[in-house]
Amino acid sequence: MEALVLEEKGRISLRPFALPQVTGPRDVRIRVHTVGICGSDIHYYQHGRIGPFVVNEPMVLGHEAAGTVIEVGEEVKHLKAGDRVCMEPGVPDMESRASREGMYNLDPSVRFWATPPVHGCLAPFVVHPAAFTFKLPDNVSFAEGAIVEPLAIGMQAATKAAIRPGDVAVVLGAGTIGMMCALAALAGGCSRAIVCDLVPEKLDLIAGVQGVTAVDIRERRVRDVVSELTGGWGANVVFEASGNEKAFDGIVDLLCPGGCLVLVGMPQKAVPIDVVAVQIKEARIESVFRYANMFERAIQLIASGRIDVKPFISRSFAFADGIKAFEEAASGNPSDVKVQIVME
């Protein structure tokens, strides 16, 4: 079957590619419907690597997916052929110590779609463990199901922040993950999310969400806005979701005493943290690496209407135009948040 394959840095092809299709007793076979293009897909496309993960041979891209079950293994009880589903892309060793201690996302041997040497899901059919395959309610579309994965990162961040009702959050960065952090923070009880960026199109989009204050950092200092909106007290939570080293300049100043800094974005090089400033405020620092046990919660929040992800699905391309989809996603169009590929 054809798949969208990263041949090497800067070169993608749509060509026949063999992927495992044998359904084990606890697996399901899925007809893929919609796949989102993630920032990591683009990074592999443009640079051929992310940290220690290097594309040394052709790799199928894609890990944000939804589709329809067409075959189930003999031990699968909670899913059946015809079920609409989305798939959690990281499959850990459930017998590892990390998994046994409830942190399966930190399992060193986790197999994560489109992370070398593991192939992704930009192909017509995939086989996946049923335990990491989640049924979509009738009112959740395939497009929404395919954005559950980035929303799960925002959910992980909000959970690590230990939000209390009425908290004020700051989100640095209005990319896909920053926006998902804002949505998750509001759903988790924040009264306000102050989202900061320098791209007007993205700020205009997130500003349409009730409870969001959008700040163009070219026009106003984030610290001044936070002080104004909190009476000088500071934010309860700061989500660093940009991965930009400059975002760490004075970042602790945004926090209130006892506040929490959540590190979500991944800077390309080491960044300074003012340890004394952290200590003076008895601030907490939390970090996020993917997610654990968030997919079902994210799906239910979408189904309930508490979180609306539809405005953040920018454009969709047919599978036959998958190469163009990647070129467009990599172009940095300021109006794009999530570009998706529709397989059917």
pLDDT over 90 for what percent of the chain? 97
Within a domain: residue 180? yes
pLDDT at 291: 97
pLDDT at 268: 85
Contact 44, 52 (CB under 8 A): no
State pLDDT tens for residues 75-122.
999 999 999 999 999 999 999 999 999 999 999 999 999 999 999 999
**CATH number of the domain bearing residue 139:** 3.90.180.10
pLDDT at 227: 98
State pLDDT tens for residues 193-208.
999 999 999 999 999 9
Within a domain: residue 300? no
Q: Collect all residues with Cβ–Cβ distance below 8 Å to 332 and sequence separation of at least 6.
A: none
Within a domain: residue 42? yes
Within a domain: residue 304? no
Same domain, 316 and 333: yes
Give mean pLDDT, residues 291-310. Answer: 98
Same domain, 72 and 175: no
Same domain, 206 and 94: no
Same domain, 175 and 143: no
| pTM listed for this prediction | 0.96
Same domain, 162 and 280: yes
Residue with tokens 């443009």: 46
Same domain, 108 and 186: no
Within a domain: residue 8? yes
State pLDDT tens for residues 329-341.
999 999 999 999 9
Give mean pLDDT, residues 319-323. Answer: 97
Within a domain: residue 157? yes
pLDDT higher than threshold 90 for residue 20? no
pLDDT at 118: 96
pLDDT higher than threshold 90 for residue 51? no
pLDDT at 137: 98
**CATH number of the domain bearing residue 226:** 3.40.50.720
Give the range of the structural domain holding residue 115, as residue numbers without chain letter.
Answer: 2-147+309-342
Rounded Cα–Cα distance for residues 129 and 119 (Å) = 15
Same domain, 233 and 121: no
Q: What is the mean pLDDT of the chain?
A: 97
Within a domain: residue 299? no
- For 172-189, letters b (16+ CB in 10 Å) and e give bbbbbbbbbbbbbbbbbe
pLDDT at 158: 98
Same domain, 108 and 223: no
Rounded Cα–Cα distance for residues 133 and 54 (Å) = 27
Same domain, 127 and 183: no
State pLDDT tens for residues 226-281.
999 999 999 999 999 999 999 999 999 999 999 999 999 999 889 999 999 999 99
Same domain, 130 and 71: yes
Half-sphere exposure of 214 (CA within 13 A, CB side): 19
pLDDT at 344: 79
212 Ramachandran zone, left/alpha/beta (phi>0; psi -120 to 50): beta
Within a domain: residue 295? no
pLDDT at 32: 98
Same domain, 194 and 124: no
pLDDT higher than threshold 90 for residue 66? yes
pLDDT higher than threshold 90 for residue 293? yes
Same domain, 112 and 177: no
pLDDT over 70 for what percent of the chain? 100
Domain count, the chain: 2
